[in-house]
């Protein structure tokens, strides 16, 4: 009588980290130190890089210099919020863009980076 051997490997548990909130706070700039340093030392370069990563025109953030309310920062924050289904209002986006510009850009960059890889693999013990 032949023996029957069944071999099966455990499958990884896949958990997605999709949320309707920002994955980091407005003042959590130090969560990504290289981006924080680039934003601190060369904000125009950082904003252009972040706009490009968001799929927008590379030089679009430079238009913020021509107004009291930074229109491009506000628009990009609204765009990222809508793209990822994050709760919020245009009014709050405008306030963050006006009073916390560099922190807003850092938060947008962190969000794009985090949401590009939303799957976390968890090793299933046998």
Can you give the pTM of this predicted structure? 0.76
94: part of which helix (H) or strand (E)?
helix 90-99
Alpha-carbon distance of 94 to 76, in angstroms, equals: 11
The whole-number pLDDT of residue 7 equals 64
CB 38 within 8 A of CB 46: yes
The two three-digit tokens of residue 122, written as one number: 């968890």
pLDDT in tens, 49-67: 999 999 998 888 888 887 7
**How confident is the prediction along the chain (126 residues), in pLDDT tens digits per residue?**
567 766 666 655 545 556 789 999 999 988 899 999 999 999 999 999 999 999 998 888 888 887 778 999 999 999 999 999 999 999 999 999 999 999 999 999 999 999 887 666 666 555
Q: Would you call 18 exposed, middle or buried from its count of C-beta atoms within 10 A (0-12, 13-18, 19+)?
A: exposed
């Amino acid at each position: 009588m032949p023996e029957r051997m069944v071999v099966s490997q455990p499958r990884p548990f896949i958990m997605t980290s999709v949320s309707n909130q920002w994955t980091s706070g407005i003042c959590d700039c130090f969560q990504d130190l290289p981006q924080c340093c680039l934003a601190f030392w060369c904000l125009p370069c950082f904003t252009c890089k972040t706009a490009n990563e968001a799929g927008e025109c590379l030089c679009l953030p430079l238009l913020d210099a021509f107004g009291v309310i930074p229109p491009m920062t506000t628009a990009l924050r609204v765009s990222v919020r809508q793209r990822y289904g994050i709760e919020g209002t245009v009014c709050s986006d405008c306030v963050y863009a006006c009073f916390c510009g560099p922190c807003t850009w850092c938060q947008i960059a962190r969000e794009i980076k985090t949401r590009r890889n939303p799957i976390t693999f968890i090793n299933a013990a046998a």
